[in-house]
Structure 1
Amino acid sequence: MRWMLLSFIAAVLFVENGHARDWKAYMAYHDATFNQPAGGLIYSLCDGSIYTYQPGETVVKTFSKATGLSDCGIQFMEYNADEEAFLIVYKNQNMDVLGINDSITNMPEFKDSDVKDKTVNDVTMNGRNAYVATNSGVLVVNMRRREFTNTYNFGQKVLSCACVGDKIVALTSKGIYNGDLGGNLLDAANWKHLNEYLLNRLFVFGGRLYGQAGDGIYAIDETTGNISKLLHGTYTFFHPYDDVFVIGNKKELILMDENGKVSRKSFANDFKSLSYDGELFWASRGSKGLQAFEIKDDSVKAASAAIIPNSPIRNLAYFLKYTDDNRLLVGGGSLNYTYQNYPGTVMMLDGGKWTNFQEDSIYEKTNVIFRNVTSVIEDPNDKNHHFATAAGGGLYEFRNARFVKLYTYDNSGLATILPNDATPKYYVRTAGLTYDKDGNLWMLNNEVDTILKVRRPDGSWKGFYFNTLAGYPTFDHILIDSRGIMWITHRRTTSKHHAGILGFYNNATLDDERDDTWKFRYQFTNQDNTSYTFNQVYDVAEDREGRIWIATNQGPFVLNNPTDFFNNDVVFTQVKVARNDGTDYADYLLSGVPITCIAIDGGNRKWFGTSGNGVYLISADGQTTVHHFTAENSPLLSNTVYSIAINGATGEVMMGTDAGLVGFKADATEPVEPLEKSNVKVYPNPVRPAFEGSLRVDGLSFDSDVKITTVSGQVVAQGKSVGGTFTWNLRDNRGRRVGTGVYHVIASDQEGKNGAVAKFVVIK
């Protein structure tokens, strides 16, 4: 778990518990949908993730894959008071048992089974057991032993179930069934069809069975199936507790005691769920967070401030980019060619604090729904000034995270696909923001004649026309390399368009097109004279040696001599990796793996995100897979990775997936040139006995030679930095953890011209 300060005190603090200590999940906690008091805490479900809050405190504790949960995207969490544990059911039917002592047990058997329809509809508790209503019957989970004990399949899709007295009652699309808890419920013949009433959910309160339907709450006889309407109305939240049944909707709150006495409170509210801890009522209020209320007589009064952990506003991380001062910009959208419509999402992480850019009121100011953000960028001369592109609308301008202006077809150099449509602004499709060294803002304007646009610092616009590319729909990323060449990816192949890459060089003369050079290539020929065409070309990056890496659905390709791109004999190299099996054979690096994004770290290593294969870290020479992270073997949230960005100062690798954002603390940072003692930092220092990680030395120059010595000069470890970082596992050449003492770090740069010395203490 992690501790996080609440957003109303505008700060964040994380304390790791040691599980997967190199990972951190940045989950959204802005849509509070359900909560449950347990063990003196309030467990709150937000955006499919859990945090706990202790009333009266100023921090929350978050749970994620990085803290031990087996998955992400929670559909249900139901508390078993007898065993003091929650059954967590994920949207993919994986399950965990989470104890109030923070113990976690994964139960993947149902998810991994060959059951055809695994849809989970409801979860209820009785004694030490959990009963999971599914489209394939009822699953029984022994919460004490943390294991499945039975599956009751009587030929019906079970929408909800409940145990009352000696009966188990199941709600199906064909009515209500029951069975004897002490009988053989594995035999479908022992399930009795009581009636054909169509309800939504069953509850037990005060030893009696109740059902919820669209028109009210019903009392049900669990033996005969007879029902009678208890409350008339459409109710959206309901939860039974020991001495009160909480029922309500947006206009009314009803509290029923064990004797059936009903107390009604009429008041407008935005509650999605309401719980009771024996003293206060806790409301999950969607975007307004978790909040306590005191209900006495006819009054309903707030008893706490709204609790909204500082976090991303949504689990959308399509686009990631670090600014020069290591602030992370996040855009949560898509190119929209699959007709997805994500809310306009622009977020920034700065020193642990999230800022979520304005969304409200943009429609009222522009008459365009703000959605599908494709890229975000910070003004290099003003860190409070940002722009965002969108798959429809145009170019959005923000200052201090507040909306300023929409640049669209009628007030800028941008064009719309459908100028004669009733809503032409929706067809101004933009992407690929980047600044050049002169402060010009470049972007892509898809599906129109002139697809490349630039906004000058004075606010004027210019377009660049490429005759064979007019109308291309999915130009995505722009990279301006160290030579000034612009590399632009076109995402996908259609019946009329090709996935490929555009190289454009304007000779640093923005207004003189006579010396411009451009070439679009959709067919690559490698060093073995094998030709490829692609369904997708996703991304492009330049490494520290000036080579251009191109991400395609058939793996990565490299331009070792990028200027050759404009020549007829250009070679797109596929790195060959020796098999090392006694033969001379080699395989192309990640051949056939759909590479969706590329990032280069401070050590010139390549981070590849993929579609369905997780994340690869490949050594600088391309010969070694340093890491292959998947959702199955690591806290990576999903194997579908959209974007990767690296914090050069800390080495944290941020990975945007279709399930949200996660970071991995890697062992490479940006090198600092020249090597100077004042830049070198060693941590932790001192190294205490409980520390189990690796010592880090940051602030080094590229490929520094590093030695760790005792005060007497004995070398206990040596090696090279990865970028600007050297890590050491605190063990000597014989694999033994070093003893208590003072140690020196002695570093020199590649040429041996500059050096630095630092010291640290180990306490064993």
Structure 2
Amino acid sequence: MQFSQDFSALWKGHFSYNEIKAIAQGNNKIYAAGDNAIFSLDTQSNEIKEVTTVNGLSGESISTIYYSEDYELLVIGYDNGLIEIAFDNDTEILTIVDIIDKPTIPPNDKKINHFNGYQNVVYISTNYGISVFDLERLEFGDTYFIGNGGSQIQVSETSVFGDYLYATCLGGNGIRKAQVSSPNLIDYQNWQSITSGNWVSIETQENKLYAINSNRKIYQIVNDVINEEFTYSDLPLSMISVNGNLVVSTQNNVFVYDSNFNIISQVAIEADFDTKYTTATIDLEHIYIGTKDFGMLKTPLNNSVIFEEIRPNGPLLNTPFSIEAERDGLWVTFGGYSSRYVPSSKKYGVSHLEGEIWKNIPYDSLFNSRNLNSISINPLNTEQVFINSFQDGMVEIINNEPIIRYDQTNSGLESLVLPGVPNYISLRLSGSTFDRNGLLWTTTSFLKKPLKSYQPSSGQWKSYDFTDLIPDPLNQNLGFSDIVIDNSEIKWIGSFNFGLIGFNENNSNPIIKSIKGDVENFPSFNVTALALDKRNQLWIGTDSGLRVLFNTSNFFNDDDVRVEEIIIEEDGIAKELLFQQTITDIKVDGSNNKWIGTADSGLFYFSSDGQNTIFHFTKDNSPLPSNTINDIALDEANGIVYIASNKGLVSFLSGGSSPFEDLQSAYAYPNPVRPTFNIVDEKVKIKDISENVNIKITDIEGNLVAEAQSRTNQRYNGFNLEIDGGTAYWNGRNFANNVVASGVYLVMLSDLDTFETKVLKLMVVR
């Protein structure tokens, strides 16, 4: 049992709340659980607050939630048996791993099915039985294995009725009860069966007890005799008692009954919200319905014809596949292909973050394009975006409006051809990027001419033949990962079976070359990620480790070209950096440092040469909801790193930025530095500086206070004045390591390449 850390200072969660798994309520708040994050609605102020991995949640899949008004806390249950408790007006989350750590319970049986609060405890229904948790002491009590002979059985829910604790069970184990005040409920012989069958829910409504069977029927239990009340057209998904009313939810309807089981409200699927219901609750005036696609719908209890969508703004899904950053924004796709380039047939839309607002483009607006993956933003017109489909071609979007889909009928794109299968159409587009001239380059699997270029301004397409390298594309290469272009317009392409491919147009006499094997020092033929750094060195990710091509200029001329591993020293022992790790993405920031995502070890941030690990983020020490990183994107203008994991999207404010070409726009903030500003920890930022700069800070009398150079005083090395790409950070200390006094300070900037200078005045008030 431990309290988790709140990371909200530098991290932000971008979670989807379109699908609601569970709803709870109390103290004038409605709590709704998404896949792995929660939001609350204050019914009096209408304020919405999020609770995510940034606040300390685990990021695992939520199965159920319960709110205790007496103890003012929210209890969260997960598919894997984890339990977390979020306290009102507290920034910490309590994590309880007792069930996860039980070795006698199979992992698949640890799912938390239901919480039932009674007095000072909550009864936890699981796939192995019932556990008791004391909300006052915040500790576990007994566990009840209530199956025949004390065996573990699936308990769906529990409810206290009269003097007894009732449990509905699956697997044909019926409904069982035991005296709630008995000190020995751990003894299975104190539990008696009142009926057989599969039961999904049980609830006490004032002086009545109701249970729902898997046969879609609801029964009232009177003196342990079950009496059928109604048969639903769909299996009820939840049943709760609120304010003396009974609320039953199916995928197509919500039923609200009074104390005599008379319907006082029934809410069917609304035409404007084509979805499925998941759960529901009520207060004195409204019904709150969890849905699959629209978050939580709010409608009047007595006139359920007007619906209001309630959910935090977010992307479509919590399974981002590819992301691409722009200034103050981000594009996200959710479809794609497997690690072996097998199409997934995912019919998902696209999400676009603009500033603080998410705009979601649905699948049917994107010409029903499946498996949308890589995103390319036109550098000459940032409102124009191209998104590849690993099935149907390429979609063009302008100002958030899908304009056209390019495929085999209207462009230079081609479908693969399956021998003996006439009329088979499948365009497997993956990696793509723009060059500096605004020409879009993209790759298509299984073609003789897999490399295509497209000029948006003219509509001209060109195709480039790879058969000299891959003579049998249908059988020899499953797909292409990344494509990057260097300053010499060389195209570097990652492939599944042919390692690293270099392609040079060579004035219409193309040259193509591949390196992939042991001789070239590759750990695998499968290149999964590529990135060119500021020194034109090519960083290469594979499914078995990291390599660097240090000399890209001689790639085509050198018969002995090879890639190198990064060797680091750890505890006095030489080791290979990221040895045998599956690399999923590599990004280079303004300081030439490297962000590297992995398939199961989280996210790494390395110094420019890879020798120093600045950060290693995992789900255990950060808000990452998973250690499986699908993609990384950098908004370098704002120093934001976006991280797409297989369980959601988060961002980290690294603070770094790309350098400017000159010092014309350089400025310092905050200015003035006021007494309320924590200069030591929050630091003064000197923004929009050039790549190779010297910075001197002096007092008004010319006494040197601090000095730094771009290639020496880099960030995260403990200097008082640090430089990170286009931003420098000063902690207010002088050479004696004392915080400076109040006064005017001069920040003198000198570009070491162009000899341009600039002086900024900075006022410090202490």
- Output one character per residue of 1:456-503: Cα deviation in whole Å (capped at 9) or x when no partner: 342232221211422222212111111111011113xxxxxx251111
1:359 partnered with 2:363: yes
1:32 Cα deviation after fit:
3.9
Give how far 1:260 is off: 4.3
Distance in structure 2 (CA, Å) of the matches to 1:251 and 1:611: 39
Shift in alpha-carbon separation, 1:649–1:711, aligned structure 2, 3 A: same
- Match in the other structure for 2:239: 238
Aligned to 1:87: 75
Paired residue for 2:259? 258
Q: CA deviation at 1:137?
A: 1.8
* Alpha-carbon shift at residue 684 of structure 1 (Å): 7.7
TM-score, normalization: structure 2? 0.87
Name whichever of 373-382 and 650-659 sits farther off. Answer: 373-382
Distance across 2 between alignment mates of 1:685 and 1:139: 58
CA deviations on 1:687-716 (whole Å, 9 max, x unpaired) are 553745344332122253344555554626
What SS class does the counterpart of residue 189 from structure 2 fall into? helix
Question: Which residue does the alignment assign to 1:689?
Answer: 676
1:519 aligned to 2:513?
yes
Q: Which amino acid aligns with 1:536?
A: N
- Measure the CA separation in 2 of the matches of 1:52 and 1:102: 14
Residue 613 of structure 1: how far off its partner (Å): 0.7
Report whether the alignment pairs 1:480 with 2:474: no
Instruction: Using the TM superposition, give the Cα deviation of residue 654 of structure 1 relative to its aligned residue in structure 2, in angstroms.
Output: 1.0
Note closer, same or farther for the CA distance 1:381–1:707 as it changes in structure 2 (3 Å cut).
Answer: closer
Does residue 171 of structure 1 match 2:168? yes
1:587 partner amino acid: K
Q: 1:195-274, aligned counterparts within 5 Å? A: 195-213=195-213, 214-221=215-222, 225-233=224-232, 234=234, 235-249=236-250, 253-263=254-264, 265=266, 267-269=268-270, 271-274=277-280
Query: Who is 2:184 aligned against?
Result: 184
Q: How much has 1:338 moved relative to structure 2?
A: 5.0
Q: Residues 20 and 733 (structure 1 numbering): CA distance in 2 closer, same or farther, change over 3 Å? A: farther
Q: Does the 8 A contact of 1:500 with 1:522 survive in 2?
A: yes
Who is 1:334 aligned against? 336
Deviates more, 1:183-192 or 1:331-340: 331-340
Which residue of structure 2 aligns with residue 659 of structure 1? 647
How far did residue 79 of structure 1 move? 1.5
1:110 matched to 2:102: no
Partner of 1:494: none
Alignment CA distance shift 1:742-1:188 (3 Å): farther
- In structure 2, the residue matched to 1:26 is 14
- Root-mean-square deviation (Å): 2.8
Percent of pairs identical after alignment?
Answer: 26
For residues 45-101 of structure 1, what are the alpha-carbon distances to aligned partners after superposition, in whole Å with 9 as ceiling and x for unaligned?
234321222346575221111123233432211122222211112333322111232
Matched positions, count: 717
Relative distance call for 1:423 and 1:75 in structure 2 (3 A) is farther
User: What's 1:312 paired with?
Assistant: 315
SS across alignment from 2:99: helix
Instruction: Tell me the secondary structure at the aligned position of residue 246 of structure 1.
Output: strand
Distance 2:370 2:504 in 1: 32
Matches within 5 A, 1:529-544: 531-534=521-524, 536-544=526-534
User: Aligned runs of 1:549-564 on 2, under 5 Å?
Assistant: 549-564=539-554
C-alpha offsets along residues 257-281 of structure 1, whole Å, 9 cap, x if unaligned? 3354443547554543322122322
Task: List per-residue Cα deviations over 1:724-755 (Å, max 9, x = no partner).
Answer: 12224455666666666655544433459334
Q: Would you say the 8 A contact 2:668–2:762 is kept in 1?
A: no
Is the contact between residue 666 and residue 686 of structure 2 (CA under 8 Å) also seen in structure 1? no
Q: Residue type of the partner of 1:258?
A: S
2:510 alignment partner AA: D
Mapped partners of 1:516, 1:284: distance in 2: 57
Q: Deviations over 1:233-275 (max 9, x none)?
A: 2344432113211224466543323354443547554543322
Q: Tell me if structure 1 keeps the 8 A contact 2:328–2:638.
A: no
Would the aligned equivalents of 2:485 and 2:491 in 1 still touch at CA under 8 Å?
yes
What is the alpha-carbon distance in structure 1 between the residues aligned to residue 178 and residue 761 of structure 2?
72
Contact 2:529 2:585 in 1 (8 A): yes
Q: Which residue of 1 aligns with 2:391?
A: 392
Match of 1:490 in 2: 495
Contact 1:311/1:354 (<8 A) preserved: yes
The runs of 5 or more residues in structure 1 that have no matched partner are 1-16, 364-368, 492-497
Query: So what's the TM-score if we normalise by structure 1?
Result: 0.87
Match of 2:569 in 1: 578
Matches within 5 A, 1:430-509: 430-457=429-456, 458-467=458-467, 468-469=469-470, 470-471=473-474, 472-491=477-496, 498=497, 500-507=499-506, 509=507
> Is 2:290 the counterpart of 1:284?
yes
Deviation, 1:546, is 0.8
Given that 2:546 and 2:577 are in contact with CA atoms closer than 8 Å, whether structure 1 keeps it comes out as yes
Contact 1:669 1:724 in 2 (8 A): yes
| Contact 1:706/1:748, CA 8 A, preserved across alignment | yes
Amino acid at match of 1:244: N
- The amino acid across from 1:573 in the alignment is E
The 1:20–1:353 alpha-carbon spacing in structure 2 relative to 1, beyond 3 Å, is: closer
Give the superposition deviation at 1:340.
3.2
Alignment-derived partner of residue 634 in structure 2: 646
How do 1:716-755 and structure 2 match up within 5 A? 718-730=720-732, 743-750=745-752, 753-755=755-757
Residues 123 and 160, structure 1, Cα contact 8 Å, conserved in 2: yes
CA drift of 1:601 comes to 0.8
Instruction: Give the AA of the match of 1:698.
Output: K
What are the equivalent positions in structure 2 for 1:81-160 lying under 5 Å apart?
A: 81-103=69-91, 104-114=93-103, 115-117=105-107, 118-153=110-145, 154-155=150-151, 156-160=153-157
CA distance in 2, matches of 1:162, 1:339: 46
**Cα offset, 1:603, TM superposition:** 0.7
Cα pair 1:44 1:50 within 8 Å, conserved: yes
Provide the C-alpha distance between the structure 1 equivalents of 2:738 and 2:56, rounded to a whole number of angstroms: 29
1:652 touches 1:665 (CA, 8 Å); kept in 2?
Answer: yes
Write the deviation string for residues 380-407 of structure 1: whole angstroms up to 9, x where unpaired: 3433322211111111222332222222
What amino acid sits opposite 1:294 in the alignment? P
| Cα distance change, pair 102–204 in 1 and its aligned pair in 2 (3 A) | farther
> Is residue 2:337 matched to residue 1:349?
no
Quote how far apart the aligned CAs of 1:20 are: 4.2
Cα distance between partner residues in 2 of 1:450 and 1:371: 22
Q: Distance in 2 between matches of 1:684 and 1:98?
A: 39
Find the counterpart in structure 2 of residue 378 from structure 1. 377
Alpha-carbon distance in structure 2 between the residues aligned to 1:451 and 1:596: 22
Contact 1:525 1:572 in 2 (8 A): no
Shift of 1:330: 1.9
Alignment of 1:708-719 (within 5 A): 708-711=697-700, 713=703, 715=705, 718-719=720-721
Cα drift, residue 175 of structure 1: 1.2
Give the structure 2 partner of residue 495 of structure 1.
none
What letter corresponds to residue 699 of structure 1 in structure 2?
D
How far off is 1:542 after superposition? 0.5
For the 8 Å contact 2:743–2:763, the answer to whether it is kept is: yes
Q: Please state whether the residue corresponding to 1:360 is helix, strand or coil.
A: helix
Task: Tell me, yes or no, if the aligned pair for 1:609 and 1:615 is still in contact at 8 Å.
Answer: yes
Contact 1:710 1:744 in 2 (8 A): yes
